[in-house]
Amino acid sequence: MIKPILAQITSYLSIGCIAFLVLSCTNDPNANKDHLVFRYNEYANINTLDPAFSRTLQDNSVCNQLFNGLVQLDDELNILPCIAKNWSVSENGLTYTFNLRNDVDFHKHELFGKDSTRTVNASDFEYSLNRLKNPKIAAPGSWVLNKVDDFKAVNDTIFEINLTQPFPAFIGLLTMKYCSVVPKEIVEHYGSDFRAHPIGTGPFKFKRWEENIKLVFRKNENYFEIDENGTQLPYLEAVALTFLPDKQSEFLQFVQGNLDFLNSLDTSYKDELLTADGQLRNKYTKTINMIRGPYLNTEYLGFYLDSDKPEIQSELIRKAINYGFDRKKMMVYLRNGIGNPANGGFIPIGLPGYDESIGFSYQPEKAKQLVEKFKKESGITKPEITLVTTSNYLSFCEFIQRELEKAGLTINVDVMPEATLRSGRSNGKVDMFRSSWIADYLDAENYLSIFYSKNFAPKGSNYFHYKSDRFDSLYNKAFTITGIEKRKHLYKTMDSLAMDKAIMVPLYYDEVIRFTQKNVTGLGINPINLLDLRYVKKEKTN
C-alpha cells in the first residue's frame, strides 16, 4: 500500500517540473522564468472551470484567474469597475446601465478566426446571462438573476439590466464568478466540455488540466488591467496547481519550499506552525509570511427537520446541543485562537445584522436538563444522533461528541467525502451535518436566504427544510427597504427566529489565514477568501 501512495505523491510533487516544461516548450524567448511560476495545492480539488457552475470557494478561486465580469471586488470588498468602466442606477432602483470598455479581448483560440481573438461587447454579456438562466443548462448560479426582469445590449458598449423590484445588494451579486462573460462561439463549440476548455478574459489563460493531478495557467499577455504605475498585470508567468488531498502532506511540501502558498490551517500541523495564541512560531518567522483577517464565513452544524428521527425533530435536543459545548475552549484547543466563537446567530461578525445576543452560551447544566426533559416526554431513554462530517472537521465533531455525552446525548460521528456529504445534505439523506456558509455578496440577505421556504434543497440552499410564514414575510419585506439601518433591524429579527428554533448550531466565525514563502509579495487578503493573483510577485531565490 505504501508504494502506490508514494508514487502518487511523487506525481503530485512533479508540478514544478511540469510547469517548467510548460514554460520551456513553447519557444517563448522569456521561457526561462520558472521562478515566476506560482505553485499551490488545492486539497479540496475543483469541479469545473466554467464560471456558470462555479459554486465552491475552490472553483471560484481558479475561475477568478480566468474570467472577468462587469464589476469586481477589491480586498476591502468595495465594488469597482471591471469590464464595465462605470455604471448608473435609475432613481426607482430598477434599471442598471453599464458602459463597457472597448479594449478587453478574449483569450486566443483558433475558433475566433484570423486574429485568434476578438473584443468583448455587450452582446457577450447578454449571451452569458441568458446562458446562466437557461433551464436546460441548469447552472447552479441561475439564482443570482431571480430578481432580474430582463437585460439587453443597447449597443456594443452599453448593457442594461432591469429588475422586477429594487434590490440594493444586486450590484454585489454581479461581482460573483457566475456573472463572468464567456464567448458564445467557444461555449457552443465545446458544450458541456467548456468546463475543461475555458476561454475568458482574465489575467491568466488556460494551459492544461489533468483532473485530480495538475492544473496549469499561463499569463495572459493581452490582459487589459494595469497597476498604479502603468505596468500591465499580472506579474507572474504561470500558475501551477496540484491536488494532493492530504493536508499534512500539503503542509510538508510548503515548509520544504515546493509550494509558494498555504491557504489552510489543519489540526495535523497547527501546533507545529502556530503558538497556542495563534502566532507564527520563531522557527518559521525567517522563511514564512503569515497574514490573517476577518472572514465572512460561518461554520455550523445543521439539522434536517423533515427527518423521521424524534431527536432531530425535538427542539429540546437541538437546543441542548447548542448549550452543551464550550465554543471558546473549542477555538483555543482546536484552532489556536484563529476565528471567533459563534455565540451569536448565523450572520457573521462584520455584516450588518450580526447580533451577539441571539445565540447560545455554554450552559452544560441546562443542556442536561433539556436532554432529561426529552427523555421523559418521548420515552426514549438513550437519545442518539448521527452527525456527518468530512475528515477535515472530525476533531470539532469529536469535541462536541465528548461534551454532549456528559449531557446524556450520544452523538455518532460519520465521516464522508466532501462530494458525498454535499449530495446527502442537498437531498435530505443526512439528519445532522457539518457545513459552512461563505458570503457570496455583501449583504446579510445572502445568509438569511438559507432559511427561506422557497429555497428548499435540492433546488435551493435551505438544507434544513425550515419553514416559517413570519420569516418569509420579513424576508420579502427586506427587499423593499433601501436603508441599511432598517434592513439591519429586519435581519436581526429573522436571524433570531431561526436561532430560537435551534435549526442549526453555529460553531465559529472564521478568519482568513494565509501563509506564503518569504519571496512572495502582493498576495492580499479579503473577507471572502477569494484568491487574486494579479498583483503577486516572486523574487528569484538562490
pLDDT digits (tens, 9 = 90+) for 140-167: 889 899 899 999 999 999 999 999 988 8
List pLDDT tens digits, range 194-220.
999 999 999 999 999 999 999 999 999
pLDDT digits 0-9 by tens, 327-381: 999 999 999 999 999 999 999 998 889 999 999 999 999 999 999 999 999 999 9
What is the tally of helices (H) and strands (E) in the chain? Answer: 17, 19
Which SS3 state, helix, strand or coil, does residue 289 take? strand
What does the pLDDT read at residue 521? Answer: 96
- The arithmetic mean of pLDDT across residues 114-119, rounded, is 91
pLDDT value of position 533: 97
**Rounded distance between C-alpha atoms, residue 131 and residue 153, angstroms:** 15
Name the burial class of residue 191, with classes exposed (0-12), middle (13-18) and buried (19+) by CB atoms within 10 angstroms of its CB.
exposed
Per-residue pLDDT band at 257 (split at 50, 70, 90): very high
| pLDDT tens per residue across span 57-115 | 899 999 999 999 999 998 888 899 999 999 999 999 899 999 999 999 999 999 998 88
pLDDT of residue 15 exceeding 50, the answer is: no
- pLDDT at position 315 is 97
What pTM value is reported for the model?
0.81
Query: Quick one: CA dihedral 217, 218, 223, 228, positive or negative?
Result: positive
Query: What strand order describes the sheet that includes 148-155?
Result: 84-89, 95-100, 158-163, 148-155
Give 32's pLDDT tier (boundaries 50, 70, 90).
low
d(Cα 22, Cα 15) in Å, to the nearest integer?
10
Peptide bond connecting 458 to the previous residue in cis, omega within 30 degrees of 0: yes
pLDDT at 50 over 50: yes
